[in-house]
C-alpha cells in the first residue's frame, strides 16, 4: 500500500534527501504535499518532478512567481504560515515529514498531530520548545512520532524489542564539529565560514552552526528526554569524531546496544518512513575495515557552554527550553551575519535566559508569547 507523504521543508537538507528516498521507492511512497521557505526555483522543480496535490511557499512574496511557473500543472499553490499549517490536515496524507528548521516548524507539526498523522520528526525544535505539550497531544490524537535525527533514530532502533527493559543510560554521540580541538583563544576569532565547514555532515547553515557550537547536541538532549521518557541526568553526551556510532542505549544489566552506519541521513529518513520494516537501499555503507578505530571523548563544557545551557534549561523546565531555542535562533543568525562572535553567542543566550519571564506551566499561547519576548530581548542584546 502506497503511503502519501507531506514534506514540510522539502527544499532543505532533510527534505531533499527525503525525496531521494521517495525516488528510490516509487512503489511505496507518493508525494502529496510539499512546502519550502525561500528557495522557490527548487520548490518548482520538485513540484514538476513529483506532481503533488499542493505546493506551499512560506515566503508570500514568492506566491505569484511560483503560481505562474506551475500554471500548466494541476497543482494547488498556496503561500504563508497559515497555509502550511492547513496543508498537513488533508485526510489523504499518511505521513508528515516535519523538516522545517527552527520554531517555525512547531505550529504545522501540532496541526499534523491533531489530524492524527504519523510524524517523521526532523524538526528537533518542536520538542525542545514544547515537548510536554507535543507528547500530550500525540497521546490524545494517537499520532505516532518517529525520529528522523540520526542520533534519535539510532536510540529508537536500539530500543526496538526492549519494551520491558529499563534504560540505565542513553549514549548520545556528537562529532565535536570543526572546532573540537580548538583552544578557547582560537575560538574567539573563528568565522562563520569556518563554522560552516562541518567535518562529517552536510546540513543547512543554521544547523551546521548549531553543531559547531554544540547547541544542536543540547537540543538533542532535550529531544531525547521527551522522545524516550528518560530524565536528562541519564542522557550522556559522547564526542565521537568518526560519526559512525550514531547513538546507543545502556540497559540496567550493563549491556549497550548502538546503531552504526555511514554519516548519511538517508537511512534514518527511510527507516522512519518504512518502520517497522527495513527495505533494500543502495545508500552509503560504513566500511569498518577502512575505519580501523572508533574513539570517544568527554565534551568540554568550558569551550562549549551551550551544552550546559541546555541542561540548565531542562532543569528549570517550563518555558525555559523555549527561551533557549528562540535566543539561539537570534544569535545564530547574528553570528552568520557577522554581528556577534562565536563565543559571544553563548553569553547572549545566558543573559537572555536570566531576563525572560519564566512560566512554569506554559500553554501553547505562552510559548508563542515567550518566543516573541525572547527574540526581542536577544535582538536588543545583540546591538549593545
Is residue 243 left, alpha or beta, with left meaning phi > 0 and alpha meaning psi from -120 to 50? Answer: left
The pLDDT value recorded for residue 113 is: 98
List, for residues 309-354, the tens digit of each pLDDT value: 999 999 999 999 999 999 999 999 999 999 999 999 999 999 999 9
pLDDT exceeds cutoff 90 at 383: no
Q: How many residues does the chain have?
A: 384
List, for residues 251-287, the tens digit of each pLDDT value: 999 999 999 999 999 999 999 999 999 999 999 999 9
pLDDT exceeds cutoff 70 at 201: no
Residue 149 CB partners (closer than 8 Å, separation 6+): 121, 122, 124, 220, 223, 268
What mean pLDDT do residues 105-117 have?
96
What mean pLDDT do residues 103-107 have?
90
The pLDDT value recorded for residue 197 is: 85
Q: In the structure grid, which three cell numbers stand for residue 354, read together?
A: 536570566
β-partners of residue 237 are: 172
Contact predicate 169/256, CB 8 Å: no
Contact predicate 170/233, CB 8 Å: no
Q: Say which residue the cell 507528547 belongs to.
A: 135
SS3 call for 96 = strand
Dihedral sign from CA coordinates of 84, 133, 378, 231: negative
Residue 319 CB partners (closer than 8 Å, separation 6+): 356, 358, 359, 362, 366, 367, 370
Contact predicate 252/166, CB 8 Å: yes
DSSP state of 304: -
Q: In the structure grid, which three cell numbers stand for residue 358, read together?
A: 519564566
Q: Residue 127's pLDDT band (boundaries 50, 70, 90)?
A: very high
Query: In order of start, what are the domains of the chain with their CATH numbers?
Result: 3-147 (3.40.50.720), 150-263+288-302 (no CATH), 317-384 (1.10.1740.10)
Question: Is the bond into 348 cis (omega within 30 degrees of 0)?
Answer: no
Q: Cβ atoms within 10 A of the Cβ of 132, count?
A: 14
d(CA 137, CA 155): 22
The pLDDT value recorded for residue 285 is: 93
pTM of the model: 0.93
Q: What separation in angstroms does the CA of 379 have from each of 84, 307, 330?
A: 27, 22, 7
d(CA 301, CA 308): 6
The pLDDT value recorded for residue 384 is: 66
pLDDT exceeds cutoff 90 at 72: yes
Percentage of residues in the chain having pLDDT higher than 90: 90
What mean pLDDT do residues 223-234 have?
96
The secondary element (H helix, E strand) that includes residue 5 is: strand 3-8
The percent helix, strand, coil of the chain (3-state, each to 5) is 50, 15, 35
Q: Residue 202's pLDDT band (boundaries 50, 70, 90)?
A: low
Q: Cβ atoms within 10 A of the Cβ of 181, count?
A: 9
Percentage of residues in the chain having pLDDT higher than 70: 98
Q: In the structure grid, which three cell numbers stand for residue 272, read together?
A: 522512519
Amino acid at each position: 500500500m502506497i503511503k502519501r507523504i507531506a514534506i514540510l521543508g522539502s527544499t532543505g537538507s532533510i527534505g531533499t534527501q527525503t525525496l531521494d528516498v521517495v525516488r528510490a521507492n516509487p512503489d511505496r511512497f507518493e508525494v502529496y504535499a510539499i512546502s519550502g521557505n525561500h528557495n522557490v526555483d527548487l520548490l518548482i522543480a520538485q513540484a514538476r518532478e513529483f506532481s503533488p496535490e499542493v505546493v506551499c511557499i512560506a515566503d508570500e512574496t514568492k506566491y505569484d512567481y511560483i503560481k505562474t511557473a506551475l500554471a500548466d500543472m494541476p497543482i494547488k499553490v498556496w503561500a504563508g504560515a497559515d497555509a502550511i499549517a492547513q496543508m498537513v490536515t488533508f485526510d489523504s496524507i499518511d505521513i508528515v515529514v516535519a523538516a522545517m528548521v527552527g520554531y517555525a516548524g512547531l505550529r504545522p507539526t501540532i496541526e499534523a498531530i491533531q489530524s492524527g498523522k504519523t510524524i517523521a520528526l526532523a524538526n528537533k525544535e518542536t520538542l525542545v520548545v514544547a515537548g510536554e505539550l507535543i507528547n500530550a497531544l500525540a497521546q490524545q490524537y494517537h499520532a505516532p512520532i518517529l525520529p528522523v535525527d540520526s542520533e534519535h533514530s539510532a536510540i529508537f532502533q536500539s530500543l526496538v524489542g526492549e519494551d520491558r527493559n529499563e534504560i540505565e543510560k542513553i549514549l548520545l554521540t556528537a562529532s565535536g564539529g570543526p572546532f573540537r580541538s580548538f583552544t578557547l583563544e582560537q575560538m574567539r576569532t573563528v568565522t562563520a565560514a569556518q563554522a560552516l565547514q562541518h567535518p562529517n555532515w552536510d546540513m543547512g547553515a543554521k544547523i551546521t552552526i548549531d553543531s559547531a557550537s554544540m547547541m544542536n547536541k543540547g537540543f538533542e538532549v532535550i529531544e531525547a528526554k521527551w522522545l524516550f521518557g528518560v530524565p536528562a541526568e541519564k542522557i550522556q553526551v559522547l564526542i565521537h569524531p568518526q560519526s559512525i556510532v550514531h547513538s546507543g542505549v545502556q540497559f540496567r544489566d550493563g549491556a549497550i546496544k548502538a546503531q552504526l552506519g555511514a554519516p548519511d541521513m538517508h537511512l534514518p529518513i527511510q527507516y522512519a518512513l518504512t518502520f517497522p520494516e527495513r527495505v533494500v537501499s543502495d545508500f552509503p555503507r560504513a566500511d569498518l575495515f577502512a575505519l580501523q578505530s572508533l574513539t570517544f571523548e568527554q565534551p568540554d563544557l568550558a569551550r562549549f557552554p551551550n551544552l550546559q545551557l541546555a541542561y540548565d534549561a531542562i532543569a528549570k523546565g517550563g518555558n525555559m527550553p523555549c527561551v533557549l531555542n528562540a535566543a539561539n535562533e537570534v544569535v545564530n543568525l547574528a553570528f552568520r551575519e557577522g554581528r556577534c562572535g562565536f563565543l559571544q553567542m553563548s553569553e547572549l543566550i545566558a543573559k537572555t535566559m536570566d531576563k525572560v519571564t519564566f512560566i512554569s506551566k506554559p500553554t501553547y499561547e505562552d510559548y508563542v508569547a515567550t518566543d516573541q519576548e525572547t527574540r526581542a530581548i536577544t535582538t536588543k542584546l545583540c546591538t549593545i
